[in-house]
Structure 1
Amino acid sequence: MPNDRLRDALLRNGLTSVLIAEKLGVDPKSVERWMTQDRTPYPRHRHAIAAIVRESESYLWPNAVSPEKAARIAQSEVVQIHPRRAAVPPDLWGRLLRNAESQIGILVYAGVFLVEQEPKLISLLRAKAAEGVQIRILLGDPGADAVALKSVEEGTAGVMRAKIEQVMQYYGHLRDVDNVQVGFHQTTLYNSIYRFDDEMLVNTHVYGFPAPHTPVIHLRKLSGGGDLFDTYADSFDRVVTASRPAWPTEAAA
């Protein structure tokens, strides 16, 4: 059975069996067998290929990584766990935003705190977008049941909708900016996710507590790959798919 994931990863990165063989110091025929016959490379070669194509070993070779090793890798992706969002150093948010080179992702209900503690957030995002960074911002749909329920659960009925409308006054300045996507989602969030390239801050949601008082997990994706970071990244992408644009397109206007 061919390894289509490996073949696709190499093609997306402009790599042939000959080029990857030269990088690894192996016979090109071996690389062909890895793709066409689903042969499993030695661990050192798996790690090198995963790093080159920026995919996880567990994705490229699902059966090659034992559950025990996969668990160890996932643990290694955890940089730090902060007991509450308010305990996250303010300069960490700024560093992650400014160091992003390929993508910034924000998945929240409102996330007003971000524009409050980063007064130049909008101008920073505009500058990043001009550099080619892909920016995706997903806010709760003001009319969604999940938004109303979140307010009730936090004991502040109706406040969440007002927060979303407040923060949209800031993000409205990003309308029609290239490389920026602002959308509304109606999903029930179990976590707020903030992604900056291969680093991520996951603000867990705990029933009855507002987000500033719940834990934040700082993750960094390993070059060899781990399932923990990818799980949250996949969740983010699923919400993107289910979201709607914050502003109508010209065709729909």
Structure 2
Amino acid sequence: MSLLRSAVYALVFYPATIVFVLACFVASLFGSGPMRSVVHAWTDFHHWFVRLLGTRVEVSGTIPNGSFLIAVKHQSMFETLEMMRIARTPVVILKRELSRLPGFGWATRRYGVIPVDREAGAKALREMLVAGKEAAASGRPVLIYPEGTRVHSGTMPPLQAGFAGLYKVLGMPVVPVAVDSGRFWGRNLPHGSGTVHFLVGEAIPAGLKRDEIEARVHAAINALELAPQPSA
């Protein structure tokens, strides 16, 4: 059943994504608003489709309105799409390779992302900080996966250095979000069925020292790892 679920997902979702990318090209002729509406339709489609495959979503807490830095636990591709629905059109920090994919990369750049080259070191950090300032000035929230990459369920690695730098430069409060998608999802495909939980923590104020903000965010995004395992 697990292999069948993964196969159905791959055979339906990825071809459908190509259709949505083409729709983005057409919608972009009429401005950024219609184009972003197509992106949201894509994430709504994904939300509906995975329900058919047995994945439910439960969100505890609410992302507040306004300019915030949203820090999310990262265990699979699942939350990268679902957070687009939960966080209200965020500017997303993602790895540069995704922003260079034919068609799809163009759509992400038009929607609003901050591509980061994880191999570029300090140069990548400087570029991210500049782009982060521009995003914050637009009034949209900025979404970051502070662990830097997808991690296995049950693991709690330290946050990447770029998170603290972005927090300091933007001067925005942080909304931490814990996720447990790794219980049912691999990096890109589902391998089980059940409920994925999103736990939105209380906003953490701007202006804290690096050790404190990293400790508080690390604890908050790992809240579901530290708590008793929720039922499916």
TM-score by length of 2: 0.30
> Larger RCO: Structure 1 or Structure 2 (Cα < 8 Å, ≥ 6 residues apart)?
2
- Choose 1 or 2 for highest CA Rg: 1
- For normalisation by structure 1, the TM-score amounts to 0.28
